[in-house]
Structure 1
Amino acid sequence: MLSARSMFQEILDNDESFRLFCSIAASGESQGGWENARIAALVPESQRRLAPKIVRHGADEDKHGRIFNALLRKRGLDPVDVPGEADYTMLLEKQGIGLAHDKLRADAPLTEYDIVSYLAHSRVTEQRASEQMRLLCKHFAEHPDLGRAVRMISNDEDNHLAYCHEELLRLAAAGHSRRIQRILRQSAMAEIRVYRDVSLAFMTHMGRILGWSGPKVAVLMTGIHLVYLFERLFGWRRMVTLSMPERRDALGGPATPATEFA
């Protein structure tokens, strides 16, 4: 029977598919760590109170990258280059999601509008990250190799999502409400297209590595297109709503260390 658990189990059991999975995850997390570190360094004076939380966000992302690389080392595997068509963060940047890297490499302070954009983009992408990690936790929280890693990362992603909600509500109350809603809607629509494209590319590579049959690949591809259609029509709304989270000040302290992994 084809299920999310059985598909992930196949990926985890094969060295080459596991290698690609962890390489993609590590690359995206490390990229997020760099981006947050640069944003924290360039925060405008009006939003300096956010800098420690952005630093914490970046430290968490760096930690996640190290965890995925440590999982590779534990199996004696080296990372592989991420295929361009499966590079979620790169494709998001091309769609205008996240602050441009040219801007982050410069030394000029960001604007308050940049910070609003950063938080709105993050609210959308952290929704996806939180959901994906919860799915992995559902099936592999007790896995001997992955269990502790997915539980830790899932908790961090929930913290990141809570932080985005709380800070965006603060900025909305300060007069940025219309701008935030506009950016959220645009970002959600762009993200669901990128997620579909990356999912199709990911499954194509996994099918090739694992020798999946044509009908199996066709079923998986159809499922991805159906998810995209649902998100395009209805599911995007979960990415644009804002509500005060139960976890208040979720990034108010230092990052949780992960010395047991890396």
Structure 2
Amino acid sequence: MLSARSLFQEILDHDESFRLFCSIAAGGEAQGGWENSRIAALVPPGERELAPRIARHGADEDKHGRIFNALMKKRGLEPVEVPPDTDYTMLLERHGIGLAHDRLKDDRPLTVQDIVTYLAHSRVTEQRASEQMELLRRHFADDPDIGRAVRMISADEDNHLAYCHEELLRFAYAGHGRAIQRTLRECALAEIRVYRDVSLAVMNHMGRILDWPKAKSAVLAAGIHALYAYERLVGWRRMVSLTMPERRGALNGPPTTAPEFA
């Protein structure tokens, strides 16, 4: 029977597919770490109190990248080059979502609108990350090899999502509500397209590595297209709603460390 658990288990059990999975994840987390560190350095003067939380977000992303690299090292594997069609972060940038890297390489301070754009982009992508890690946590939280990493990263992603909700609501109360809703919708609709394309690309690469029969690949592709159709119709709305999280100040304080991995 084809299930999320059996699919992930197959990928995790094979060295080459596991190496590709971890390399893609590590690359995305490292890119997110760089982006957040640059944004923290360029926060406009009137929002400097936000800088430590953005830096904490970036430090968490860097930690996740180290964890994925450590999981590979534990199995004697080296990272592989991430195929361009699986590079979620860079594909989002090419679709104009978030802050362009050229802007982040500039030393000019960001504007408040730039910060709102960053937070809206993060709210959408952290929704996806939180859901993906929740799926892995549900099936692999007790796995002796990856369980601890899954639990740690999942908890961090939940904190990141809570932080985005709280900060966006703060900006909404300050008069940026209309811009926030417009940016959230644009980000969500672009993200679901990129996620579909990346998912299809990852499945194609995994299929070649694991020698999946055409019927299996076709079923998986149909499932990805069905998910996109649902998200395009109504599912994107979960990415644009804002509610005050139960846990306030989720990114206050220093980042947690992971010495057992890195």
TM range (shorter): over 0.9
Post-superposition CA distance 1:51-107 (Å, at most 9, x none): 000000000000000000000000000000000001000100101122100010111
Alignment-derived partner of residue 63 in structure 1: 63
Tell me what 2:113 maps to.
113
Q: Distance in 1 between matches of 2:74 and 2:110?
A: 40
C-alpha distance in structure 2 between counterparts of 1:140 and 1:117, whole Å = 34
Q: Extract structure 1 runs of 4+ deviating beyond 2 A.
A: none
User: Which stretches in structure 1 are left out of the alignment for 5+ residues?
Assistant: none
Q: Aligned residue for 2:255?
A: 255
1:100-249 matches, cutoff 5 A: 100-249=100-249
Q: Distance in 2 between matches of 1:258 and 1:214?
A: 40
| Amino acid paired to 1:65 | G
- Residue 177 of structure 2: SS of its match in structure 1? helix
Q: Which amino acid aligns with 1:73?
A: K
Secondary structure of the residue aligned to 1:115 is helix
| Structure 1 residue matching 2:189: 3-state secondary structure | helix
Q: 1:247, CA displacement in angstroms?
A: 1.1
Q: TM-score scaled to structure 2, two decimals?
A: 1.00
CA distance in 2, matches of 1:249, 1:97: 26
Alignment of 1:74-85 (within 5 A): 74-85=74-85
- Deviations along 1:120-163, one digit per CA (max 9) or x if unpaired, are 00000000000000000001000111000000000000000000
Q: Secondary structure at the match of 2:59?
A: helix
Unaligned runs of 5+ in 2: none
Q: Offset of 1:46 from its aligned partner?
A: 1.2
Q: Separation in 1 of the partners of 2:56 and 2:96?
A: 24
Range 97-106 or range 118-127, more displaced: 97-106
User: Which whole-Å deviations, capped at 9, do the CAs of 1:18-54 have from their partners, x for residues lacking one?
Assistant: 0000000000000000000000000001111100000
**What is the aligned-residue RMSD (CA, Å)?**
0.4
How much has 1:237 moved relative to structure 2? 0.4
Q: Secondary structure at the match of 1:245?
A: coil
Match for residue 41 of structure 1? 41
Q: Structure 1 CA distance, aligned partners of 2:242 and 2:177?
A: 11
Tell me by how many angstroms 1:181 deviates: 0.1
1:261 is matched by which residue type in structure 2? F
Query: How far is the alpha carbon of 1:196 from its aligned partner?
Result: 0.1
Name the counterpart of 1:31. 31
TM-score normalised over the length of structure 1 = 1.00
What is the alpha-carbon distance in structure 2 between the residues aligned to residue 178 and residue 235 of structure 1?
21
Matched residue of 2:34: which SS?
Answer: helix
Aligned length: 262
- How far apart in 2 are the matches of 1:100 and 1:207? 33
| CA–CA separation in structure 2 for the residues paired with 1:102 and 1:135 | 34
Aligned twin of 2:99: 99
SS at 1:196 equivalent? helix
Aligned counterpart, 1:54: 54
Give the deviation of 1:190 after TM superposition: 0.1
Q: 2 CA distance for matches of 1:159 and 1:201? A: 29
